[in-house]
C-alpha cells in the first residue's frame, strides 16, 4: 500500500522514496494515532504529503526545543537557524535533510502548502519565546500565531478550493485547535510545570487558588473549568463535515471524535494531572477509527 501511495503522490525518485519512507517511520513512532487516522481515512495519494507535513512540524518543534528551556534567546537562535535552512530549501537550494526534501516535493505538488509553511515558521518564533500566559487573551494570540498554522500544515491539504468554503473551513479549524491546544496543556500539565512553561492561564490558576504541583480539590476545579472551555471552543462535527468534500468527512469526524475522547480522559484524570499525563482510551480510539473506516469503505463502494 505504501509503495502505491508514493506512486500516486508522484514520488518516483529512488532517494526521495527512501526519504519519505524514513519520515513515515518517524511519524508512525511519535504520532501513531494521527498516522493511523490518515492511513485508514484519507486517499492514498494524500498520505505521503501528510507524512511530509507532520514530519516537518515535528522537526521544527524538536529543533526549537533543543534550545535551553531557561534561555529564550537560545531557543530563538535555534528557531532562526532552522528558519534559514527551510527557506533556502523552499527557494531552490538542494536540501541536505530528508525531511526538507520531502517538504519541498509536497509544496511542489500542493502549492498552497507553501503559504502555510511560511505562516508556521513565523509562528514558531512565538513558540520559541513564550514562557507562560497571563490570561485567555494571551493564550488566544498564541493559538492564532502558532497553533493554527501548525494545524493547517496538514488540515490545509484537505481544504476546499472554493474561497467561501475555505474561509468557513479555516474558521472551524481555528475553533478546533483552540480547544485542542487547551487540551494539550491539560494533558501535559505535569511535564510543562517541570519545564517552567505551564500552558494554563495564570489568572485562572489564581482564581481557583490552585497549586499546579498539588493534586487537590482546587486543581480539580481548575481542570474541570479548563476542560469545559475546551469543549465550548471546539466546533461540532457537522461544522467541519459541511466545510470539506465528502471523501474527507470520515477523517474529520474521527478527528473531532478523538478530541471528545481526550476531553473525557482529562475529566477523569482531574487533579491527578499534577503528577501524570492523560490521553484517549486506546480501545475507544481504535473503535472510533474502525467505525469511520467502515463508513468510508461503504462510501467508496456505492455506485457513482
Concatenate the DSSP letters of all residues of 129-161 into one string. Answer: H----SSHHHHHHHIIIIIHHHHHHHHGGG--S
Tell me, yes or no, whether 180 lies in a domain: yes
Residues 81 and 146 in one domain: no
State the cell numbers at 198. Answer: 505551564
Alpha-carbon span 304 to 72, nearest angstrom: 56
What pLDDT is recorded for position 204?
98
Question: What does the DSSP 8-state code read for residue 201?
Answer: -
What pLDDT is recorded for position 70?
55
Kindly tell me the sign of the dihedral angle through the C-alpha atoms of 94, 96, 102, 107.
Answer: negative
Alpha-carbon span 303 to 108, nearest angstrom: 33
Block residue for cell numbers 507562560: 132
Integer angstrom CA distances of residue 79 from 17, 41, 123, 297: 28, 33, 10, 42
What pLDDT is recorded for position 208?
98
pLDDT in tens, 70-97: 555 788 888 899 999 999 999 999 998 9
Residues 20 and 136 in one domain: no
Structural contact between residues 140 and 24, judged by C-beta atoms closer than 8 angstroms: no
Query: Is the pLDDT assigned to residue 166 strictly greater than 80?
Result: yes
Tell me, yes or no, whether 229 lies in a domain: yes
Q: Burial of 138 by CB count in 10 Å (0-12 exposed, 13-18 middle, 19+ buried)?
A: middle
**CA nearest 90: which of 110, 69, 65?**
110
pLDDT in tens, 45-59: 999 999 999 999 999
Q: Which CATH number is 165's domain given?
A: 1.10.600.10
State the cell numbers at 15. Answer: 532517494
State the cell numbers at 87. Answer: 527557506
Alpha-carbon span 7 to 10, nearest angstrom: 5
pLDDT in tens, 127-149: 888 889 999 999 999 999 999 99
% of the chain surpassing 70 pLDDT: 96
Number of domains in the chain: 2
What pLDDT is recorded for position 302?
56
Minimum mean pLDDT among 17-21, 71-75, 174-178, 190-194: which range? 71-75
Residues 95 and 134 in one domain: no
pTM score of the predicted model = 0.91
Alpha-carbon span 278 to 267, nearest angstrom: 10
Q: Which of 75, 110, 145 is the last residue of a domain?
A: 110
Tell me, yes or no, whether 264 lies in a domain: yes
Tell me, yes or no, whether 7 lies in a domain: yes
Q: How many residues does the chain have?
A: 304
What pLDDT is recorded for position 12?
96
Residues 283 and 232 in one domain: yes
| Average pLDDT score, the chain | 92
Structural contact between residues 250 and 296, judged by C-beta atoms closer than 8 angstroms: yes
% of the chain surpassing 90 pLDDT: 79
Residues 86 and 220 in one domain: no
- In this prediction, residues 244-259 reach a mean pLDDT of 92
Residues 184 and 64 in one domain: no
Tell me, yes or no, whether 116 lies in a domain: no
CB atoms within 10 A of CB 55: 26
Query: Is the pLDDT assigned to residue 69 strictly greater than 70?
Result: no
Residues 94 and 218 in one domain: no
Tell me, yes or no, whether 121 lies in a domain: no
What pLDDT is recorded for position 63?
87
Query: Is the pLDDT assigned to residue 304 strictly greater than 50?
Result: no
What pLDDT is recorded for position 72?
58
pLDDT in tens, 219-246: 999 999 999 999 999 988 888 889 999 9
Query: Is the pLDDT assigned to residue 267 strictly greater than 50?
Result: yes
Residues 138 and 246 in one domain: yes
Concatenate the DSSP letters of all residues of 81-144 into one string. Answer: HHHHHHHHHHTT---SSHHHHHHHHHHHHSTHHHHHHHHHHHHHHHHHH----SSHHHHHHHII
Block residue for cell numbers 513564550: 130
Q: Which domain holds residue 39?
A: 1-110
Q: Which of 54, 78, 110 is the last residue of a domain?
A: 110
71 sits in the region (left: phi over 0; alpha: psi -120 to 50; else beta) called: beta
Tell me, yes or no, whether 125 lies in a domain: no
Residues 104 and 149 in one domain: no
Tell me, yes or no, whether 173 lies in a domain: yes
Residues 279 and 138 in one domain: yes
What pLDDT is recorded for position 272?
98
Residues 34 and 135 in one domain: no
What pLDDT is recorded for position 18?
97
Amino acid at each position: 500500500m505504501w509503495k502505491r501511495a508514493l506512486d500516486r503522490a508522484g514520488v518516483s525518485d529512488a532517494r526521495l522514496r527512501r526519504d519519505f519512507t524514513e519520515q513515515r517511520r518517524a511519524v508512525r513512532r511519535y504520532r501513531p494515532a494521527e498516522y493511523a487516522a490518515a492511513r485508514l481515512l484519507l486517499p492514498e495519494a494524500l498520505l505521503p504529503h501528510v507524512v511530509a507535513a507532520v514530519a516537518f512540524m515535528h522537526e521544527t518543534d524538536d529543533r526549537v526545543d533543543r534550545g535551553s528551556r531557561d534561555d529564550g534567546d537560545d531557543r530563538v537562535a535555534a528557531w532562526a537557524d532552522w528558519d534559514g535552512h527551510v527557506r533556502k530549501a523552499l527557494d531552490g537550494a538542494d536540501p541536505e535533510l530528508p525531511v526538507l526534501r520531502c517538504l519541498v516535493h509536497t509544496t511542489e505538488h500542493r502549492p498552497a502548502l507553501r503559504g502555510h509553511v511560511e505562516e508556521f515558521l513565523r509562528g514558531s518564533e512565538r513558540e520559541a519565546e513564550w514562557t507562560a500566559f497571563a490570561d485567555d487573551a494571551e493564550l488566544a494570540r498564541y493559538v492564532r500565531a502558532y497553533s493554527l498554522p501548525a494545524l493547517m500544515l496538514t488540515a490545509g491539504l484537505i481544504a476546499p478550493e472554493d474561497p467561501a468554503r475555505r474561509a468557513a473551513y479555516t474558521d472551524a479549524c481555528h475553533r478546533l485547535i483552540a480547544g485542542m491546544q487547551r487540551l494539550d496543556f491539560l494533558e501535559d500539565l505535569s511535564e510543562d510545570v517541570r519545564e517552567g512553561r505551564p500552558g494554563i492561564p495564570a489568572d485562572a490558576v489564581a482564581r481557583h487558588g490552585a497549586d499546579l504541583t498539588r493534586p487537590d480539590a482546587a486543581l480539580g476545579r481548575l481542570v474541570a473549568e479548563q476542560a469545559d472551555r475546551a469543549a465550548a471552543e471546539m466546533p461540532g462535527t457537522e461544522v467541519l463535515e459541511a466545510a470539506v468534500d465528502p471523501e474527507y468527512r470520515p477523517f474529520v469526524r474521527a478527528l473531532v471524535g478523538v478530541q471528545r475522547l481526550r476531553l473525557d480522559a482529562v475529566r477523569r484524570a482531574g487533579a491527578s494531572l499534577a503528577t501524570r499525563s492523560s490521553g484517549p482510551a486506546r480501545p475507544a480510539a481504535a473503535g472510533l477509527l474502525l467505525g469511520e473506516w467502515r463508513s468510508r469503505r461503504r462510501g467508496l463502494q456505492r455506485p457513482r
